Structure formats: structure tokens, C-alpha cells
Structure 1
């Protein structure tokens, strides 16, 4: 190719892309699973296609991005030079890497030049996969030396939008959905127009600008003068029909969905800007405080990514720094530095039985499912029913991320559905669902689609489980275990387990809300816990005036992944003030990560265990609790 000019690389040396062509399957609705259809949403640039006269001369001149960017689609990012022959390593950003990086032909590079982004054509000669690093090694024409290749680092590789692969029937590119009319399937009434599509993890969300013909009422009871924006989950149950030819999609939203998420903020633009400024100032103070704590822990290397990358990447790292629970991390690190005997529930139960402060309350499984109940059991059941119906009990259901590799997402969803369906007096019961971050949208859509299973939406919280940074198993320069980085802008983290529940609800000020609702007891259980007899535990704790209750089966506790406990809200409040007494275990694991070496980011692939992940069980909250304040219910066959 003639006229090729080497450009300076951007300051970003490494990135972690979300796939631009990322297929996301429709979620099967709970109430009508048979209507599930295998559709795939393929993400791509959301710009409308525009033809430009500059396209014909792209091989001879460089043009500014703003002029023709809408004609291109990003497919990858040059992360580093490879070898001495001018090859480069590419982080793919496409679901079609074989076609994009192994087939010779024209490609385009988007680069920085004198403070401006420009696009220039290059010729791809060959490419091969480097699957161990999840990258590709490619060779461009006229790039024959490592010095030339290094100048391309930081460039984005593009292809023409018109060269997008043809999709199978039922598959969509997100940009094809933007601008579509949205219509109610049942009535044919126009709803609005799709303005954006967002990848929400479990499923995608359509941002729809409502038609002004819809009479949406603001908080003052007046008709809205401007068309509001609403979010609509792109799932089969809500969007059953999409017609690309007519540019129209039909929706069947649950009752209240459109009204529920209309923006209710009626403040002026000036007031909103002032509020945004205050929020930024507040966040900056939080970031400064979080960085100070990490500095005290000799973890300054975490901030390296703040000096590289674009604004979004630096913002991601800043958010993660603020979210680090430094107090819990310090407690967990002590597990490595001063190891002690791990607290065991079995030992607690053995000591509990020996002390005989309280008898273990045994109840047969058959008694629980039969109409013929013992008098004592009947009284406990009546007490339990009274507490639940009067809104004195809150439920915390935990989907443990440490166990997600053993259980499929579908099985986890089925277990959650079963538990929610079985619960009594849902309208008066606050519900807190704690789950991995990548499942929040899935569970949110599940609740929305099924009218929250009878729960009051105002009393439902969905929280991401507590995570802690993964640290190196070897000591660093300052004789500290270094926090490992997943990428320059992402802290490598792992779920703490059920032991993180108490600090989590405390940090979100949920205890204060529950107390204001008059809640007296908090039931905490794993989603897949054997539920039989659990609710009777509430009645037992209340009638015994205890602080805590445990349910076991035939004298065997469920372990860290399977638990069912009841705490008084006063006891939980005390626990939030004693987080430093939480017991952790440090688990050796092998984890890939990146490190800054000689001012360059390097991928580290370990050949053996190289890191510690921290775990904690909710049962450790019982350590130090007097035996006479604990009730044990044993369900026997």
C-alpha cells in the first residue's frame, strides 16, 4: 500500500474489551417457558450507516474519525508488538476472529495524530491465533521491523460496516434495532422508538423514547410535555416479534413496566447539574480516602492504570478502588500472616450439645408436611405465621458466587423460583437477594417479568455479593501480599461467600430501612437450601427469646454452601460493629493476571498456584455468641 505513514501510539498499552459482536440469548420466561426461541442479539456500532465520498480515497489519505467513522466497525485492538519481524499482537473484539484476522485484505487503523483521531487503510497479509493468550498475531504490509510495530500499539483495527457477515434468521445486530418503531402487540398502540441498546449482562435492555401520544403523568399529576425514556428488557416474553423489513417490533410488557421506569426527576437542568457536581465531589472524596487506605496497606501499584487508558477505563478502575472493602481485606490478610485454627460449625454444635444450655429442638420431616402436628410444633408454627403476616420477618436469599462453577445458571434460577413461589405473605415480607454481579440483570428481569412473585417492589433489594481482591501468594517488595490485577483497569476479585452478607447489608443501609419497617427477625439462607422446616425456626427463636437460630438435618449442617439461619435484627446490628471478628480462610488458587514490568503491562500465566482467594461462612458470626442465646432445630427423617 502506498502512502502509509507510521503514527504515534496512544498511551494505552493494554485493554480488556467486551466483545463487539457478543451474542446474548433471550432469557426463557418463568411463566411460559415453552415460548423460548433461540434468538441471538449481535452487538455492533449503533451509528446509522452513511455513505461518504471519502470512502473511495481512503487508500491515499488519512481522514478524521468524525467524518467517516459510522462506516466502520471495530474488530480488535493492537496491544503489543510480537517478535522482531514487525508482527503485532491483537486483542480481538469480534465473534468472527478467523475471518477478520487470518484472511488477507484491507483493514483500517484508527490512531491518534497530533491530538486528533484519524483512520487509515492498511493491508493485512496474514494472521494466526495465539489462543493461550486469547489474542491473534497478525502481519501488515510494509511493517517489517519491531520499531514500526511498536508505533502501532494502541491502534484500533476496523473493517467496513458493509462487510458485516450475514446473520442467521432470528439473529440481530444492535444497530439494526436502533430507530425501530415499538408497538403494543395486544392493541397496536404505538409505544415509541428504540434509541439505544445496552448490554446488561444477563440480557440486553432497549432504551425507548416514548411516543407523546402516550399520556404519561409526572409526579405532580400533570401530563409530561417531553417524551420520556424507558427501559425495556429485550427478552422473548416481552419482545415476542421483531420485523427488520418493516422496522417494527411488537412488545407485551408486564403491567406497570412502562410507567415504572419513566424518569421521575422533574428538576431543572441547572439543578441536575448541581446535583451531578455534588456527586462527583463526593466520589472524589471517597476515592481519595480509598487510595489512602490502600497506600497504608502498601498497595500503590493498583493505581498504575489511572495513568493509562481512556476516560472510561480509568473511571472503571476508580470505581473498583472505591468499592474495595479495605476493612474486610485487612481482616482477611491476617489469615495469611497469622494463621489460626478455622472455626467449625460441627465443633460449635458438639459443644452446644455438651453444655446443655438448651436442648436441640428435633422435629420430623413427616410432621412438617402432615396435618397431624405435635402441640409444641403447632404453637411454634402459629407464632411463625403471626410474625410473617405482620411483616416482622425479612428474608435474605444468597446465591453464592463461590458455588456458581458447580451449579449452572439455569439451575440456580430454578432454585430461586422455587423458593420465591413457596414463600408466604410475600406482600408484607421484605426481600434481599444477594447474587454475583453478572447475574443481577437476569434476576431483575425474572422478578419484573413475574410481577415480583407477589413481593412489594418497594421492599425488594438486589445486591451484588461481597467480593475481595485476590492477592499474590508470595510476598512483594514491602513484604506484603500484592493485590493482583485482572487488567490495568480491573482488580482481580473473588466472592467472599456467605460471610460477607452482614457487611454488605450494613454498607447499603438496609438495616435502617428494615428497622423502620418494624422488622424484628432476619432469615438468611442459601437459595438451594432444603427449605423444609425453616420457617418454624423463626417461631422457635422468638418463643425462646434467643438471638440466633440454626437449622440442621439429622445433626449435619449444610456447610458453607448450604445454610439456614435466623438472627434478631438487634443481633445483626451488633455483628456489623464486629466485622473485625469475622473468620476467613485463605484458599490457594492459580490466577492469570497482569503486572507492570519496566513500564509495560505484561500478561502473567502461572504454572502453579500463585494467589490467595478469601472465603468466609455466615456460620462464623456465631463465634462468641453465648450458647443460651442460640437455638438449634434439627430436622430428622
Structure 2
């Protein structure tokens, strides 16, 4: 079962308050500030009653550097839209904002904290905290707009990163209204009672401003007798003027209104089809306008990156072709793409800092599993440590199973590499998937010994775009290999465009045709943001998960689900764990190093846990601090100050190494994703030159002419101190089963 739909993509708009007009039978609208609100935005659709934006701990999205800050609270649920950033203004970083609120002076003139929502994959996600410095109102003909300045965005280039974002405020911070004033979302969904009889006749589904009055759109429900003599429910929509004489009672707490309609009002005041069509037309126009604003932001980012050739298809071709390109452009995280292109270049690799030392300190020996198999067979119920079992290993193992039994562990399997992109009927891939499910089942059964009840370990399967449907169908056909459907979830790994191999370093996004960008999975490190953006991470937090184990499907998984890992992390109060070995082994690997300062000279937002914050620790951006990093042997800078001698240890880390992260730290990493370091891999592909106007044909020459941009999970080591990293020694390469 997927949980990708659990996060709402639409925030409620901060609609104007409604006022009773006591002097007339018809209500009048008192403008809070901007008169055009009622004509351009007020004809209410259900968007005014849309569910508030759920904070998807989520977040790292296409967010500029100045906005990647940690939110003040983890339980902020409701936000409302108050403005849409349309464009930049001038050269000093001002942004032009379209108001969506009746309190623009309060929202746009008063300095302080605001929140920004960003669109990713067609969904509004966020929010992210930002500080408003000042704002002022301007007139453009008959319309008005607001010019805002945010902290950290003091130039046109920086401010352009925010174009297309939505300004949000917390629902709790709405102005307090008088007793006779109501926000539109307050009324939506209220039951409608007849005052005299107390009978419920329907509910409020919308509110419409006809220019001179506010009208409640009420969905009536009543019984009628059909041709067969049976009764059935019929629904009808009617308009009811929102005035004291007709709506004398509005009960906020009990969520109902009582009405005393004039005789014949409910029978005669049914809406015609024309107003409904008009509302749908206006709703479509609003959606189109919003999409145009988002595309305007995309265009500016594309032009700033000098990739204007990918926009050529928007001006030619059939409508479906242009729409397909537009949707692909809206789904690209351009901040991540820009970072990937910068850090994967040869110039960047050659400029890596020199203060890198291979980690050579002694770490605890490998866990000793001698005798464990026999012990489990002979005394599976008692869980007592026998003489034949290493006491330290047993203690960590049992502690880890206790965490599993308490529902604090989730498993994330990464089916995102060559296996997922190759022939999907490969029996090896299906076998690995079955083995992984078997490991989860085995750990559930062991945890049952601790709690007496078998826990359901959440299992998240992350797939490439091309293999998502196949993997889901395979698991469904195999009944999830014995696991419960409710514990299996799916996430798609986000893609990044391929770029050209240019010896001059001028990388260009590659196009398969004028309307199709060549893209591929952005590496296992992308899963950190994808878990957040999909809403799965937030759902796991609600389940009480504390640790998430990420493992690749491309390697033997026999040691991946050792419950002792979680015991070690809890015992050491670590936020990340990784397996290392001093033994030589075949395969792609890196050297575990200590880096003083950030890898690229940029500051890092160091992770501070909630308990440390409570003790007075402060989160800060630090330019010079020590952290672990994994360096490939051929990427080691010539000037690196290696301190190892031939007989000293050098810990090696497999390129597809498994990681275990605390949920709190994974959230922090998601916010920092635009500081990740990327690698590139040469791929064989065919593409058209920017000047070509034909679709790639069957006779195109396919050669190694493209770079696939990837980030690895090793980025997880760059944002915390070495004391927060649990290094698990795997020298003996013991296979836990």
C-alpha cells in the first residue's frame, strides 16, 4: 500500500471575513483592504474549503539556500495562503507579490517570520521559514501588488529563486474576528438546521459573492417517493442570503447554522446551471493563472542556468507535446540540478580542499556472533544470554529487537540501480526482493519473542520510474512474500536530466526530442528528499518510527537487517551508522576520511538533536568543522595530507553501503539536500542538438556522450560531528542469518 497520497497538496486561502449587515435584508461586503478581491478571487469554489496544508516534514524541494532552515516545531499542521510571488522587481532583491488575503498590511508590511511553500512534482509542499524585512504597496493601473524584501535575498539573482513560491502563514495567527465576522473556511461544512423544528436539511458546501451580497450555497437532502413506491434521497443545491434575518444563529463550536427562510425560498432559489458553469470557468482560470506563474519561475531558472534550448518545444508542436514538456519541466528540481552540475564537474573535483586525512583511529571489533545460532535454536523463548554467546553482542542484539518490537524501526530497500533499469524479469532481482521480505519477516518473528506480539515493520520499496509499476505488480502477485499489505509502501526515486560530456565544461541538458528531456535516477542519495516529499517520512513519524535502515538491492542483504545495528545506535546516541572494514575487497569502494571544513568550502548546517537543543545547544551554519567523508581513491587530491603508513588501518566503505539514520537526522538532511555533492557516470544515449527540429530516430548513433548525475548516501556523513556516527566493524564479514 502506498502512502504517497497522505500529504495534502493544497493550502486553504486566507479568505476575507464575512459580516452580517443588520440594516438590510441583503448583506454587504466590507473590504478589508483590496477591492478587487471580491471580483477576482471571491467567487468561492471548494478551494476555499480545501484541507489545510499539512506540514510534510518534508521538505527539501526546489528551495534556495536562504530558505533551507529548520522549522520551529514538528507539529505545525495548518497553513493558509496569503500571497503568490509573481516576479522580481528592480535589482535590490524586491519581489512582486499578488495578495490572496484581506489583511495585506498585516501580512506584507510588518517584518517578521513568514513561511514559503514550493511546488514539486505538481504539488504544493513545505513550508519553509523565511524572514520578511519590509514590504510596500504599489499600483499597476487598476490593480495593486506588493513589493517584499526577504532576509538573505538582496539581489535580483537571489530573489529570482523565490519566484513562483506561495507565501503562507500559520492558521493560528489569523486575526481574531468579532462575533459577527466569519472566515469562509469556518462556514464550509457546517450543518444547516431549521430554527423552528431543529431538523437538519443539509450542509454548507460553498459561499458566493454576488457583488451586493454573500450567499451560502447549501446542499439540501430530502426523501422522495420513486415510481416503485420506495423512498430515496435526493440532493439539491440552493442559495441562501447570509443575513441575520435569514441566518440568525451561527454556532462555531457545534458547527451548525440555524435558518428561518421566507416561504418558498428553498423551493424556488435553486441555482441555475449558468452560475455553476461560471464558477467552473473562473476556477479553471485561477488554476491556469497559477500554472502560468509557476512556469514563469521555471523559465527564469532555466535562463539563469543558460539552458534555454529546453524551452524551444513550448513554442511549437502539438498541444499534447507541449503539455508533456511543460509537466516535465515543472517536475525538475532545478536547485538540485544546478548543484549536481557544479559538483560533478572536473573543475570542482580538482578544487577539493586539501585538509583530508584517512581515518585511522581504532574502532570496536566486529560483533562476535559465535554460538548465537545454537542458542536461538535451544532457547528461543527465554532470550537469556548463555555462556556460549558473547554478552556484549547479545545485549546490543536484544536491545535492537526491543526497538523493533516497539515499532521504532522501518526498512527502506533501494531497488534503484542497474537491477531496476535492466531487464525486469531478471530472476536475480526477484530473488533479492524475496530475500529482503524474508529478512523482514524473520526480524518480526524474533521481535515477537520480546513483546509477545508480532510487530509489523514498515517496509518501503524505492524504485526507479521505469520499474515502479513492475515491482508493485510483482509484490502484489506474490502476496508481498508473506508480509502484510498495510506494511508495504512505495516511493519513486526522483530523476535528474542527463547533461552533455563537454570537454570545455559547458554542460547542456540533453533532449531526446524538442518535447522530451533525457532523464535518469539521481542516485540513492535522492531517496532522502523523496521520502520526505512523498509524505512517507511523515507517516513513519506518526507510526512512532525512530530509526530508518536504508539498504541497496544490488548487494547481498544477508547482513543488512541485523537488529544489533539499532541497539548500537541507541547505545551510542548516534544519528547515523555505517559499516566499514579494514580488509581489502573487490568492487567499487571509498576510503573513510576525516574532513576539516566543508568539502566545497561552503558552510554546513550542523545537526543538533532535540535533546541537545533543550540543553542549550544552538544550531548554526559552520564553515570549519570536522566530519566524516568518503573519498574515492582516484578523487583524493594530490595535496591531501595523508597520515597513514603502510601498516596502519585505512577503513574502506562500499559504494552501495547500507546506512541507518535516525528520523530526526533524516529530516535535517532533507533540508540540506541542496548542499549534497554529486558524481557523474558516463552513459550511452542518443540526443538531438539544440538546433535540430526532429525527434530522435531509429538510425541515430548511440554512443557514450552523456553524463548521468548521481548523489550517494555518503552525503549523510557531512552534516554531523564524528561523535554522532556509529562505525560498525565488519572485518570478519560474518553473515547474520
TM-score (norm 2): 0.44
Distance in 1, matches of 2:365 and 2:655, equals 23
Q: What residue ranges of structure 1 are gaps of 5+ in the alignment? A: 1-222, 226-267
Any conservation in 2 of the 1:468–1:496 contact (CA below 8 Å)? Answer: yes
8 Å CA contact retained: 1:590, 1:611? yes
The aligned residue for residue 57 of structure 1 is: none
| Local SS of the residue matching 2:491 | strand
Aligned to 1:536: 564
Q: Is the 8 A contact 1:290 1:322 kept in 2?
A: yes
Structure 2 residue aligned with 1:574: 668
1:545 and 2:640 aligned: no
In structure 2, the CA distance between the partners of 1:317 and 1:340, relative to structure 1 (3 Å rule), is: same
The question of whether the paired residues in 2 share the 8 Å contact of 1:537 and 1:550 is answered with no
**C-alpha spacing 1:389/1:280, structure 2 compared with 1 (3 Å):** farther
Match of 1:380 among 384, 393, 396: 396
Q: TM-score, normalised by structure 1?
A: 0.51
> What displacement does 1:457 show?
4.1
- Alignment correspondent of 1:305: 313
Aligned partners of 1:361 and 1:634 also within 8 Å? yes
- Out of 713, 718, 723, the position equivalent to 1:618 is 713
CA contact (8 A) 1:540 1:631 kept: yes
* d(CA) in 2 for partners of 1:515, 1:485: 39
Would the aligned equivalents of 1:503 and 1:576 in 2 still touch at CA under 8 Å? yes
Closer, same or farther: CA 516–317 of 1 in aligned 2, 3 Å:
same
1:308 Cα deviation from its structure 2 partner: 3.2
CA distance in 2, matches of 1:451, 1:342: 51
CA contact (8 A) 1:591 1:605 kept: no
Q: Secondary structure at the match of 1:396?
A: strand
- Superposed, 1:225-244 pairs within 5 Å as none
Range with bigger deviation, 506-515 or 453-462? 453-462
Quote the offset at 1:583 in angstroms. Answer: 1.6
Matches within 5 A, 1:122-271: none
Residue aligning to 1:392: 408
Which residue does 1:463 correspond to in 2?
491
How far, CA to CA, are the matches of 2:524 and 2:494 in structure 1?
A: 9
Closer, same or farther: CA 508–582 of 1 in aligned 2, 3 Å: same
What CA deviation, in whole Å up to 9, does each residue of 1:130-165 have, x standing for no partner?
xxxxxxxxxxxxxxxxxxxxxxxxxxxxxxxxxxxx
Mapped to 1, the partners of 2:520 and 2:467 lie a distance apart of 15
Of 432, 457, 471, the residue aligned with 1:415 is 432
Q: Does 1:314 align with 2:331?
A: no
Flag the 1:569–1:605 CA change in 2: closer, same or farther, 3 A: same
C-alpha spacing 1:457/1:408, structure 2 compared with 1 (3 Å): closer
**Aligned residues of 2:513 and 2:694 also touching (Cα < 8 A):** no
Q: Residues 480 and 554 of structure 1: is their aligned pair in 2 closer, same or farther, counting only changes over 3 Å?
A: closer
| Cα distance, 1:405 vs structure 2 | 6.0
Structure 1 pair 385/597, CA: closer, same or farther in 2 (3 Å)? same
1:400, CA displacement in angstroms? 2.4
Partner of 1:515: 541
Say yes or no: does 1:564 pair with 2:568: no
Structure 2: how far apart are the matches of 1:471 and 1:496?
A: 12
- TM-superposed CA distance for 1:333, in Å, is 0.9
Cα shift readout 1:288-308 (whole Å, capped 9, x = no counterpart) = 433332222111211222233
SS in 2 for 1:614: strand
**Residues 441-472 of structure 1 deviation map (CA, whole Å, 9 limit, x = unaligned):** 11111232344345554554312223211111
Check 1:399–1:393 CA distance in 2 against 1; reply closer, same or farther (3 A cut). Answer: same
Question: 2:525·2:712 contact (CA, 8 Å) conserved in 1?
Answer: yes
| Equivalent in the alignment of 2:219 | none
**Which of residues 460, 463, 471 is equivalent to 1:435?**
463
SS of 1:594 mapped into structure 2: coil
Q: Measure how far apart 1:392 and its partner are.
A: 0.8
Which residue matches 1:452? 480
Aligned 8 A contact 2:684 2:705 in 1:
yes
Kept in 1, the 8 Å contact 2:686–2:703? The answer is no
- Residues paired across the two proteins, number: 364
Q: Residues 513 and 696 of structure 2 are in contact (CA less than 8 Å); yes or no, is this contact kept in structure 1?
A: no
Contact in 2 for aligned 1:546/1:630 (Cα 8 Å): yes
Matches within 5 A, 1:5-44: none
Spell out, residue by residue over 1:104-135, the C-alpha distance to the aligned partner (whole angstroms, 9 max, x if none).
Answer: xxxxxxxxxxxxxxxxxxxxxxxxxxxxxxxx
Residue of structure 1 aligned with 2:417, choices 364, 379, 401: 401
Alignment pair present for 1:363 and 2:376: no
What are the Cα deviations for residues 147-195 of structure 1, in whole angstroms up to 9, with x where unaligned? xxxxxxxxxxxxxxxxxxxxxxxxxxxxxxxxxxxxxxxxxxxxxxxxx
SS of structure 2 residue aligned to 1:474: coil
* Helix, strand or coil at the partner of 2:526: helix
- 2: distance between equivalents of 1:596 and 1:449? 44
Cα distance in 2 for partners of 1:327, 1:386 equals 41
Contact 2:369 2:389 in 1 (8 A): no
Distance 1:415 1:299 in 2: 40
Query: Deviations along 1:249-296, whole A, 9 cap, x unmatched?
Result: xxxxxxxxxxxxxxxxxxx99999999887666555444433332222
Deviations 1:357-395, CA, capped at 9 Å, x for gaps: xx3341246556442531111111111111112211121
CA RMSD in angstroms, aligned pairs only: 3.7
The aligned residue for residue 681 of structure 2 is 587
Q: Cα deviation per residue 1:69-124 (whole Å; 9 max; x = unaligned)? A: xxxxxxxxxxxxxxxxxxxxxxxxxxxxxxxxxxxxxxxxxxxxxxxxxxxxxxxx
The corresponding residue for 1:495 is 521
- TM-fit CA distance, 1:341: 6.0
Q: Is the partner of 2:501 in helix, strand or coil?
A: strand
Higher relative contact order (CA 8 A, sep 6+): 2
In structure 2, relative to structure 1, the CA distance for the partners of 1:534 and 1:491 (3 Å cut) is farther
Unaligned segments of structure 2, at least 5 residues: 1-231, 235-275, 376-387, 445-453, 590-653
Displacement of 1:332: 1.0
Aligned to 1:323: 331
CA contact (8 A) 2:325 2:515 kept: yes
C-alpha separation in 2, matches of 1:338 and 1:605: 31
